[in-house]
Chain A
Amino acid sequence: MLLPFVWMVATSLEKGGFSNYAEAWEEVPFGTYFLNTIVVTVLTVLGVLVSSALAAYAFATMEFKGRGVLFLLFLSTMMVPQPVYLVPSYVILSRLHWIDTFAALIVPWTVNVFSIFLLRQHFRSIPRSLYEAAVLDGCSTFGYLWRVVLPLSRSALVTVILFDVIGSWNSFMWPLIVTNSENMRVLQVGLSYFNQEAASNFPLLMAASTFCTVPLLMLFVLSQKQIVSSYARSGLKD
């Protein structure tokens, strides 16, 4: 299972050792790609956290007309695979004049229905009596979310963050389509172009692949238990 990774690093050090890394880094503006990816990832995850926490809170704790229908509407979008709505999304983005901007990379992904679902399940497990006690103490609806619900949901929030960091960092088809200038490229798109340009210079390509994977690799090694159990839990969403 690990062999391809071993070969990646081994080949990246062929003919020139670590200078391959410096050369690949200078060949195309990987610095810009990294920066773009970090900006996109951070803002996307922040957006997901805010929108999901608010929506999940409403779905979990408030009674209102149409709650069931709305929630079903949200869930149903999860069943439709991304390539199905890719083309019209592109049309919408070009109407908004968002093509080739950070907005196109970030805004459509600041909602993740699975995160809403996950957080809602978690929020619902918090006993109602806690809410009544907080209200008696003069806590507002938002205050209860901020001071009681969120601190009690740390593990669910970490799951949401990890999922979205991985998803955002690795996303490829969307940024490939909605950006076209070189200085808007994210890491994955940049790497795929570099792959076409440096077609058979494998040591350089392996060096580039290595430094594109290392940040997530480190995140994974540091929190692998959490990540793997999050994925395992994602399989139980039915």
Chain B
Amino acid sequence: MKRWTRSFTPLFYIMPALAIVLVFRIVPILGSFGVSFTEYDIGGLQRISWFENYSRMLGDPRFWTSVGNTLFFVLGVVPAGIVIPLLFAMLLRGKLACKSIYRTIYFLPVVTSAVAISVVWTWLFNPEGGPVNALLGFFGAEPLMWLREPRGIFEMILSPLGIRLPGLLGGPSLALVALMIVSVWKSIGYNTVLFLAGLENIPNEYYEAARLDGAGAWGSFRHVTWPLLSPTTYYVLIMSTIVSFQTFALVYVMTPPPGGGPLGTTNLLVFYLYQKAFDRFDIGYASALSVFLFLVLLGLTIIQRRLAGRRVVYE
């Protein structure tokens, strides 16, 4: 009897967590794949349609637009979300005085809800009397339409010179760029904290050795900081990629539904998935989109791991 209870004891402890993980994680994750092969709408399962949702996806121009928008978004947000926090971290490194004040300042956007932040930035970007345009006016620049501007930024910059850039060549719309700015601003604090922790792990002797060898500020960054910080940089790179692929609240609140922004230029993948699933109840198709998102993120993580595997220096 005692042996019996003993061998079941661990199960009792794990049971609550296991039950929830099974019902609300494992089953839905597998379910995504399952449902993506069916026609499933508000009336429930209609029929098994095998790869129909996927072939529909390939021929769906709105899907490709959302993929293009998401790529623009990720390619803009991730590098900026590494460079700016890295600069911040290097400036703040070793400054013990006022540490908590700085920390409060740059970390505040991280703990504030994406919805509240979006509402505030909608006002900041408002074309009629919003602070951002007021600031531009102060420097003598023309006011911009920001969240209501569907034109690509390259197009906007080059069209006065008479250069026309059609479609994707025009770049992300100004509205999407506005979302990128907010996204980077929100993530700066978290990434700065990670970089600061990474910098603290680099022993000071390395810098002294570099200085003795005649390295300047750039030299010691290039040969000490950058290589020894690479595990942190790599982690930030992967996390920011995964997180920015999932952007939803910013799109939903700042460029409100049903649009997904001016001419659909801020319609990102997860927002499109939401529209398909919960506006149209095209559950089967939305599941195919989820699977696509999952495979893209998995693929990116594997590729980044491969590429970084050769470059990342672990001590």
Contacts and interface: CB of A to CB of B under 8 A. Distances in A.
A170 interface: yes
A169 B34 CA distance: 32
B77 to A, nearest CB: 16
Contact of A4 (B27, B185, B197, B293): B185
Contacts, number: 237
Interface string A65-106: 001001001100100111111111111100000000000000
A58 B117 contact: no
A173 B250 CA distance: 11
A86 B16 contact: no
B165 interface: no
Interface string A27-50: 000000000000000000000001
A132 B104 CA distance: 44
Interface in B9-46: 9-11, 13-14, 16-18, 20-21, 23-29, 31-32, 34-35, 40
A83 B119 contact: no
A206 B193 CA distance: 28
Given A87-B277, A87-B290, A88-B28, A236 B197 contact: yes
Interface stretch (B55-63, B153-161, B208-216, B241-249): B241-249
Interface range for B: 35 or more
A88 B113 contact: no
Contacts of A87: 28, 32, 35, 273, 277, 283, 286-287, 290
Interface of A: 1-2, 4-5, 7-8, 11, 50-52, 54-55, 57-59, 62, 64, 67, 70, 73-74, 77, 80-92, 107-108, 110-111, 113, 116, 141, 166, 169-170, 172-173, 176-177, 187-188, 191-192, 195-196, 200, 202, 205-206, 208-209, 212-213, 216-217, 220-221, 224-225, 227-228, 231-232, 235-236, 238
